[in-house]
């Protein structure tokens, strides 16, 4: 079959983008042709992929999205495909990969009435309705159980159109046999002594991921513990606001900001704790990547994959509603107890051996290609 995938932006380090790539490659591996429509493509193009970057511009993102849809629709009319798979919500999709939560629910619970008069609201509400409306035919690949009831509440979406996927952690995130050697080399490279502690926070969108909360928690540590603790922040975002917050909190060189990068497994093996106090997170793939690498996790409960950390006993999950004091206390406790971190690490590695955390691309391809198993 000729398959077309559409997403607004591709760059190698985004969670949605990595999921798209692994699903598309799985479909290609099964013998199908791949075409991609996008507004922005950064990085290499896999052999055999046809990538179409829409030549459209607009002052506002929602207008640019609409122009992409129109341009793609015109191209598809001339060059039809067997399936159109979207990684952002939009009309005309055969299959939608639900990486984002319910926009309408957020608009009604977190925004005022004035917001719902704006063009931006109308655009995203219309595009979401096109996917989830009761009379739509779009099949929906769900990666978070907690979001499905919200879509049903607002759109009365039939249950049979939802397909719940297992996580899709790449096997290269698992701790290799020489994990101890990689950790030692990493810590030597970054001048981390035996008594130094390294926190990592990984993910684009620093505000949504709760980086402000992490910085406050680091600053609240007892002086001696704070002195030997560093935080590395990795992601595609503008760090200026958080660099200013870090300086205001007196953290100095203890906080380091790095762009998105391809050697994340080294950081997971070299660190002592992943901190992820997100404000909202549909899933949180990095939580499971840390778990299978044997890195303890401190995470907010709103993250869709936080329940795996509890099930595996591979770290601590914060209560809801969020309280900064609890994050501060949990962070101090986890850093002060190396024996507990070692046990959480062992639990994570054991869970990685027994749980299905890896087969998302295969299950997604089954639905896209009409090969879904009963």
* 68 close to 8: Cβ distance less than 8 angstroms: yes
- For residues 86 and 130, state if they share a domain: yes
- For residues 99 and 47, state if they share a domain: yes
Residue 39 has pLDDT above 80, yes or no: yes
Q: Give the H or E element holding residue 76.
A: helix 61-78
Q: What is the mean pLDDT of residues 122-134?
A: 97
Strands (E) in the chain, as ranges, are: 2-6, 9-10, 33-38, 40-41, 49-53, 83-86, 95-98, 139-142, 162-164, 197-202, 229-234, 255-258, 273-276, 297-300, 315-318
- For residues 18 and 144, state if they share a domain: yes
Whether omega before 354 lies within 30 degrees of 0, making that bond cis, reads no
> 33-38 and 95-98: which strand pairing?
unpaired
Residue 292 has pLDDT above 90, yes or no: yes
Predicted confidence at residue 112, as pLDDT, reads 81
**With pLDDT > 70 as the criterion, what percentage of the chain qualifies?**
99
Q: What is the mean pLDDT of residues 260-286?
A: 94
Question: Taking the CB of residue 215, how many other CB atoms lie within 10 A of it?
Answer: 23
- For residues 223 and 299, state if they share a domain: yes
On whether residue 373 sits in a domain, the answer given is no
> 2-6 and 33-38: which strand pairing?
parallel
CATH number at residue 234: 3.40.50.2000
**Which candidate, 289, 25, 269, places its Cα nearest to that of 168?**
289
On whether residue 229 sits in a domain, the answer given is yes
Predicted confidence at residue 373, as pLDDT, reads 64
42: left (phi over 0), alpha (psi -120 to 50) or beta: beta
Helix axes 211-219, 324-336, angle to 10 degrees: 60
Residue 339 has pLDDT above 80, yes or no: yes
- For residues 35 and 127, state if they share a domain: yes
Q: What is the mean pLDDT of residues 271-293?
A: 95
- For residues 185 and 262, state if they share a domain: yes
Residue 121 has pLDDT above 60, yes or no: yes
Predicted confidence at residue 282, as pLDDT, reads 87
Q: What is the mean pLDDT of residues 336-359?
A: 97
- For residues 190 and 111, state if they share a domain: no
**Which candidate, 264, 302, 38, places its Cα nearest to that of 169?**
264
Instruction: Express each pLDDT in 66-111 by its tens digit.
Output: 999 999 999 999 999 999 999 999 999 999 999 999 999 999 998 8
Q: What is the mean pLDDT of residues 201-225?
A: 97
- For residues 182 and 327, state if they share a domain: yes
Q: Is 246 helix (H, G, I), strand (E, B) or coil?
A: helix
- For residues 350 and 315, state if they share a domain: yes
CA distance 157 to 164: 14
Between 48 and 112, residue with greater pLDDT: 48
* 231 close to 221: Cβ distance less than 8 angstroms: no
Residue 374 has pLDDT above 90, yes or no: no
CA distance 128 to 121: 11
- For residues 77 and 157, state if they share a domain: yes
- For residues 162 and 29, state if they share a domain: yes
Question: For the whole model, what pTM was predicted?
Answer: 0.88
- For residues 97 and 118, state if they share a domain: yes
Residue 11 has pLDDT above 70, yes or no: yes
Predicted confidence at residue 326, as pLDDT, reads 98
Residue 94 burial class via C-beta count within 10 angstroms: exposed 0-12, middle 13-18, buried 19 and up: middle
Q: What is the mean pLDDT of residues 182-194?
A: 97
On whether residue 235 sits in a domain, the answer given is yes
On whether residue 344 sits in a domain, the answer given is yes
Residue 185 has pLDDT above 70, yes or no: yes
Q: Which domain holds residue 313?
A: 171-354
On whether residue 312 sits in a domain, the answer given is yes
* 91 close to 73: Cβ distance less than 8 angstroms: no
Residue 22 burial class via C-beta count within 10 angstroms: exposed 0-12, middle 13-18, buried 19 and up: middle
Strands (E) in 223-291, as ranges, are: 229-234, 255-258, 273-276
**List of residues 6+ apart from 303 with CB closer than 8 A:** 276, 278, 281, 283, 284, 287
Residue 137 has pLDDT above 70, yes or no: yes
Q: Is 50 helix (H, G, I), strand (E, B) or coil?
A: strand
CA distance 372 to 365: 8
**pLDDT interval class at 198 (50, 70, 90):** very high
Instruction: Express each pLDDT in 150-177 by its tens digit.
Output: 999 999 999 999 999 999 998 888 999 9
On whether residue 374 sits in a domain, the answer given is no
Q: What is the mean pLDDT of the chain?
A: 96
Counting the structural domains of the chain, the total is 2
CA distance 5 to 39: 12
């Amino acid at each position: 079959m000729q398959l077309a995938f559409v997403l607004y932006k591709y760059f190698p380090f985004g969670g949605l983008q990595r999921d798209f790539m692994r699903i598309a490659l799985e479909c290609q591996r099964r013998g199908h042709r791949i075409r991609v429509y996008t507004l922005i493509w950064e990085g290499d193009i896999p052999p055999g992929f046809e990538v179409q970057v829409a030549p459209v511009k607009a002052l506002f993102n929602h207008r640019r999205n609409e122009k992409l849809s129109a341009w793609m629709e015109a191209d598809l009319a001339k060059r039809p495909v067997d399936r159109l798979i979207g990684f952002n919500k939009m009309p005309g999709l055969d299959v939608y990969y639900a990486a984002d939560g319910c926009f309408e629910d957020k608009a009604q619970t977190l925004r005022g009435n004035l917001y719902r008069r704006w063009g931006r609201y109308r655009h995203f509400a219309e595009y979401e309705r096109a996917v989830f409306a009761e009379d739509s035919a779009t099949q929906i690949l769900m990666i978070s159980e907690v979001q499905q009831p919200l879509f049903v509440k607002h759109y009365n979406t039939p249950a049979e159109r939802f397909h719940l996927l297992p996580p899709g952690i790449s096997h290269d995130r698992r701790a290799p046999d020489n994990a101890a050697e990689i950790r030692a080399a990493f810590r030597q490279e970054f001048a981390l002594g035996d008594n130094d502690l390294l926190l990592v926070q990984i993910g684009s969108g620093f505000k949504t991921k709760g980086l402000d909360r992490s910085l406050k928690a680091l600053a609240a540590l007892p002086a001696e513990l704070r002195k030997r603790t560093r935080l590395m922040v990795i992601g595609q975002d503008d760090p200026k606001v958080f660099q200013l917050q870090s300086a205001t909190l007196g953290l100095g060189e203890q906080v380091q900001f790095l762009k998105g990068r391809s050697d994340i497994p080294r950081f997971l093996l070299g660190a002592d704790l992943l901190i992820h106090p997100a404000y909202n997170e549909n899933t949180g793939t990095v939580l499971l990547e840390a778990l299978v690498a044997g890195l303890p996790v401190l995470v907010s409960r709103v993250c869709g994959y936080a329940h795996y950390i509890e099930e595996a006993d591979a770290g601590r999950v914060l209560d809801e509603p969020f309280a900064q004091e609890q994050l501060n206390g949990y962070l101090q406790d986890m850093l002060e107890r190396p024996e507990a971190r070692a046990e959480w690490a062992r639990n994570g590695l054991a869970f990685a051996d027994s749980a299905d955390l890896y087969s998302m691309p295969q299950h997604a391809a089954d639905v896209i290609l009409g090969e879904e198993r009963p």
